[in-house]
Structure 1
Amino acid sequence: MTHRFQCRVYYEDTDLAGIVYYANYLKFIERARSEWVRELGVDQVRLKAEHGLVFAVRRVEADYLAPARFDDLLTVETDVAQVTPARLILDQRVLRAGAVLFTAGVTVVALGAAGRPVRLPAEFRQSLQTD
């Protein structure tokens, strides 16, 4: 089940060379993950308020393959690679017109109110299980 999120490259996203500044790809994939979680029906504000639980990125392994430029329409694809009780590993890609520009393996964990790792909510894990 691939989630797709579209975003436009704005002038503020680019560097002096006119290409997307490398760190902005992390913003693009973060936005895509947030929209994906929302579409799964998870209210992150309520999760924090009621359970003191938040999601945090623990690890990112990124590969920059080709540059995006001002006004490009990008698609961020997100796929679940692995779900365990304590972490979620996602494969994310940024594409322009079907061409892959950036890939990332992202490990997400849950943190409790004390800021320490906790198990991912069971309902969340179940919603991610692939057949």
Structure 2
Amino acid sequence: MSETGTTQEETTYRVRVFYEDTDASGVVYHANYLKYLERARTCWLEAHGHSHTALAEQFGIVFTLADANLQFKAPARLDDEIEVVTRVAERRRARIIFEQTIHCKNSLLIQARFTVACVRIHDFRPCAVPEFLQKEMQ
């Protein structure tokens, strides 16, 4: 189960923690937070009317992860309903820097900052983020 909510400045992706997400101690395995955060960034893009597939097919670009920084504050557990909040912190010519948080019942679990680079799909060389996306991030 998952859903997405949107405001002009940020998106919220909600998801339930399933058994497959947890480790032997009953908390979310650390690498699975990266999946939640990636899904939330994809939902951010979709909330702005775009998809990774369409950007690749129509404009020949993809976004690739250039930097990731996570701070683990508290664990999520089986059956928790978590919220991943995503917002653009900074825009550059060929990069977008996202700030994301994961919450459960108003408790901060994860603070994260990701830099994604816009690259041409045919050679993975950096290129400018399309103008229409730049405008939507203002």
TM-score after normalising by structure 2: 0.90
1:2 is aligned to 2:10: yes
The separation in 1 between residues aligned to 2:26 and 2:41, in whole angstroms, is 26
Tell me the equivalent position of 1:73: 81
Identity between Structure 1 and Structure 2 (%): 36
Number of equivalent positions: 129
Q: Please give the alpha-carbon distance, in whole angstroms, between the structure 2 residues aligned to 1:42 and 1:85.
A: 19
What is the aligned counterpart of 2:132 among 120, 123, 127? 123
Residue equivalent to 1:96: 104
Larger RCO (CA within 8 A; separation ≥ 6): 1
Question: What one-letter code is carried by the residue in structure 1 that aligns with 2:125?
Answer: R
Q: CA deviation at 1:7?
A: 0.6
Distance 2:38 2:66 in 1: 13
Q: How far apart are residue 61 of structure 1 and its match?
A: 0.6
**Structure 2 residue identity aligned to 1:36:** W
* Cα distance in 1 between the residues matched to 2:95 and 2:48: 17
Query: Tell me, what secondary structure is at the counterpart of 1:20?
Result: coil
Structure 2 spans left out of the alignment, 5+ residues: 1-8
Normalised by the length of structure 1, the TM-score is 0.95
- Partner of residue 119, structure 2: 111
Per the TM alignment, residue 23 of structure 1 is displaced from its structure 2 partner at its CA by 0.6
Q: 2:57 aligns with which of 41, 46, 49?
A: 49
Residue 118 of structure 1 aligns to a residue whose secondary structure is coil
Q: Is contact 2:69–2:112 with CA below 8 Å preserved after alignment?
A: yes
Contact 2:11 2:47 in 1 (8 A): no
CA drift at 1:87 = 0.8
Pick from 29, 33, 38: which aligns with 2:41?
33
The CA deviation string for residues 59-91 of structure 1, in whole angstroms up to 9 with x for no partner, is: 001100001000000000011110111111111
Matching residue's letter, 1:64: F
Mapped contact 2:72–2:109 kept (Cα < 8 A): yes
1:5 corresponds to which letter in structure 2? Y
SS of the residue aligned with 2:102? strand
In the alignment, which of 58, 62, 67 is matched to residue 66 of structure 2?
58
